[in-house]
Structure 1
Amino acid sequence: MLLTFRVQNFRSVRDIQELTLLAVPPEPPGSGLVAPLVHGPAVHVSPLAGVFGANASGKSTVLRALGTLRALAASGSDARDAARRFDPFRLDPATRLLPTRFEAEVLAEGVRHVWGCAYKQGEVVGEWLHAYGGDRRTVWYERNRSGVRTLPQARLEPLAVAVARDPSTTLLALAADAEHAWLAPVAATLAALTPVRVTPGARLVHDLDHLAARWSDQLTLLVARAGLGIAGVDTGDGSVRLVHDAGPDARTGARPLGAYGESDGTIAWLDLLAALLPALERGGVLLVDDLDAVLHPSLVAEALRLLGDPRLNRARAQLVFAARTVPPTTAESQRWYAVKSGGATRLLREPGGPGLSPGELARELWLAKRRSAP
């Protein structure tokens, strides 16, 4: 589970910005997830975090930062590729000389871990992994350009030698490749950050085919309730086709259509379900940019309701999403607002100040034209 994420010097983010999914009261009754700890009391975690804001405010930057964090932890080759795509804040010449920093607090096998890294063009210049048991912190390893300091019983010496020879990857990613008994669960938790595309033209409906046998009843219920004119799901030939209700005046009854006969909105809903249904069973964190770009607000509300219901979300899956409008089904503590200040993105709990009204904008444009006239 993802508890907290911090980012610095990445794209439109200059200063440290933090996104937390730790539940903050007051939450709607039954909307939070309870995560037991091996050491200490259980923590209450929110299943949702939405980032809202105007165009170019940095909403997508937050989602992209989480995707980059995943790449840096998932495998050695992915980490090398992510480090090569160094993309610092570019409006301040000083920040181009500084590394990008990510840090995530996650819950893996009932233990809270904090993993972070700092990288520049093709080089990881810092990395750390700490575990917390109650009020006690255990430093599993800390790495900088001078070397790697590790916990002796963790037996990380071979990995420390490997990153000394290849500073373009992370020690955690190499531990994932080596299936290290202690570190692999942390890497797997971060690798479970899953970007999901629900944009027009993605058309990933074929991804539902391998889910047909297991999820046909759930798919039938969800698409039939979506108000899309769909009566059910046909999986007779091993693939998924939606059965459309032709209405009482039609000469034929309900008929199935192929994927390319469906609307973009329907395909987007299916794309989301293709990721959402397995997540409800296995857990993980879904990352969805522009959630409301194609989906109708009622479908957005339905997806959020599924994740927010602990009876359905037993695996404690989470969703971090960006959207233009705030779904009324989200709690205030689940809302983050991206605003620009001095060209840099900030994450706030309150929405930014209102922009110019159409009349004020027209007046400003007219005055600007007068000032620029010879």
Structure 2
Amino acid sequence: MLLRFGVTNFASIRQPMEISFVASRAIKDRGPELFPVAPRRDALPVLLIYGANASGKTTVYSALRTMRSHVLSSFARRAPDARIEFTPFALDEESKDSPTVLECDFLIDQVRFHYGFEYDSKSYRREWLYSYPEGQPRLLFDRDVKTKTISFGKHLKGQNRVIESFARDNSLFLSAAAQYGHQQLSDVYHFFAHKLLFVGSSFTVDGTVKNLSGELDPRIISFLKMADTGIAGARFEKVATNKDQLDLYQDISKVLLPRILNSNEKFDGDFNFPSHTSKLSLGHLGANGKPVYLDFNTESRGTVRLIHLLQTALKALDRGGTLVVDELDVSLHTLLAREFVAIFSRSETNPRSAQLLATTHDTNVLSSNYVRRDQVWFAEKSVYGDTTLFPLTDMRTRGSDNLERGYIQGRFGAVPYLGSLSDFIRADSADDVDG
């Protein structure tokens, strides 16, 4: 379970910013069922981030996804001399010379962990991990690349010094430890690998079908029926790969592989390309009441993205993970978005305490009975071009307030300033005449 995520100097975020799933003690609103995480402390099942276009909402999504990518890939998939992808805040010179900081707090078996790291394009400058088994911080490790040292806490068992010898400046110690089977740290690695799931705003039909792995969860069909899409079934068919296409793949790969590996040796083996691919068709109710199956490629982009979203959401609900969605409103009608939030907010549909973190423009969700004031966050650009994150609880509000109306009226900020549309049209017309 994710409790908190913090980020500094990443893309549009310059100063330290954070979001928190920890419920406010001052809020007594009716809403979702909360998750007890400590004496007199609860966690929220859903956080929603609102803001104008280009305000930095997607930056939060990207930063958390980037943190996961560093943990999973920095040791196993990065060459020893490769540079680290580094995207600091670009609108001042100081930030370009400062590290990016990513950190988070999360629960594993009801024990809180705090993990984070700093990096630039050359190295991970610092990396640290603490646990809180009895409410007090317990050092597991603290790494300083500048001094080439790692301090290990007495409670971190295993071959720590051996693994330290393999960790490179451009790889995380946590990533290396997981690859070498460190039992304690593998549990932390597992959180990032299997408990954080992402659905971005961009997608492809082929990628969606591939992620379905040859089957469509029947609960997705039930949701599509409830959504009145006219879809009543699905079927997968195995389609043989064309032999000429396979031969072409083989020929191209034998030429490209030596170049990729920087080798002049000829590759005489065979590549194991799939002999069959999966073809998905969705059944639409016809005039006679029977389903007519249509190729998935003919479906609307909204339907494709909705299926991708539902498939990933079900994984989170089944595992008890955190689903992170960029632009929830891309594929969901506003009524479906409210129902989607409700699914994560009720114990009967969310028995494993899964969470939803979503960016959205859909203000109608703010009027849901399952949204409390401490679940609403805003992203806003300052006059210097950097993103500020702040919760609705920073404002003076009451539980009886109409949050949707208040947001649209600009009471909470984080909305675009449109000025006068008529002035814009007149200016545009004048440009056309002068041209």
Quickly name the TM-score band, shorter chain normalised: 0.7 to 0.9
Q: Distance in 1 between matches of 2:18 and 2:153?
A: 28
Q: SS at the partner of 2:141?
A: strand
The gaps in structure 2 that reach 5 residues or longer are 239-277, 393-411, 431-435
Q: Distance in 1 between matches of 2:13 and 2:75?
A: 25
CA contact (8 A) 2:302 2:330 kept: no
CA contact (8 A) 2:378 2:391 kept: yes
2:389 counterpart of 1:347: yes
Q: CA RMSD in A?
A: 2.9
Q: What's 2:242 paired with?
A: none
Letter aligned with residue 373 of structure 2: E
1:268 is displaced (CA, Å) by 1.2
1:28 is displaced (CA, Å) by 3.4
1:239 is displaced (CA, Å) by 6.8
Q: Distance in 1 between matches of 2:290 and 2:425?
A: 59
1:196 is displaced (CA, Å) by 1.6
CA contact (8 A) 2:51 2:414 kept: no
CA contact (8 A) 2:9 2:89 kept: yes
Q: Distance in 1 between matches of 2:179 and 2:228?
A: 45
Over residues 242-288 of structure 1, what are the superposed CA-to-partner deviations in whole Å (9 max), with x where a residue is unaligned? Answer: 32122xxx357332222112111111111111111122111222221
Letter aligned with residue 266 of structure 1: T
1:206 is displaced (CA, Å) by 4.5
Q: What's 2:344 paired with?
A: 307
1:336 is displaced (CA, Å) by 1.1
Q: Distance in 2 between matches of 1:255 and 1:73?
A: 45
CA contact (8 A) 2:378 2:414 kept: no
CA contact (8 A) 2:53 2:416 kept: no
Over residues 297-346 of structure 1, what are the superposed CA-to-partner deviations in whole Å (9 max), with x where a residue is unaligned? Answer: 22222222221221221222222221123323333211111101121100
Q: Distance in 2 between matches of 1:167 and 1:323?
A: 37
In the superposition, relative to structure 1, how do residues 26 and 9 fare at CA in structure 2: closer, same or farther (>3 Å)? same
Q: What's 2:328 paired with?
A: 291
In the superposition, relative to structure 1, how do residues 123 and 200 fare at CA in structure 2: closer, same or farther (>3 Å)? closer
Q: 1:275 aligns with which of 312, 330, 346?
A: 312
Q: Distance in 2 between matches of 1:241 and 1:363?
A: 46
Q: TM-score, normalised by structure 1?
A: 0.86
CA contact (8 A) 2:197 2:324 kept: yes
Larger mean CA deviation between 197-206 and 92-101 belongs to 197-206
Letter aligned with residue 375 of structure 2: Q
Q: 1:244 aligns with which of 284, 295, 306?
A: 284
Letter aligned with residue 207 of structure 1: N
Q: Distance in 2 between matches of 1:355 and 1:235?
A: 45
In the superposition, relative to structure 1, how do residues 236 and 201 fare at CA in structure 2: closer, same or farther (>3 Å)? closer
The sequence identity of aligned pairs, in percent, is: 28
Q: What's 2:89 paired with?
A: 89
Q: What's 2:373 paired with?
A: 332
| Aligned residue runs from structure 1 range 31-46, under 5 A | 31-35=33-37, 41=39, 43-46=41-44
Q: What's 1:228 paired with?
A: 229
Q: SS at the partner of 1:84?
A: coil
Number of matched pairs: 357
The gaps in structure 1 that reach 5 residues or longer are 370-374
CA contact (8 A) 2:237 2:279 kept: yes
Over residues 211-263 of structure 1, what are the superposed CA-to-partner deviations in whole Å (9 max), with x where a residue is unaligned? Answer: 43xx32x22321100121223445698975432122xxx35733222211211
Letter aligned with residue 226 of structure 1: A
CA contact (8 A) 1:72 1:170 kept: yes
Q: Distance in 2 between matches of 1:197 and 1:344?
A: 22
Q: Distance in 1 between matches of 2:67 and 2:381?
A: 23
Q: What's 1:194 paired with?
A: 197
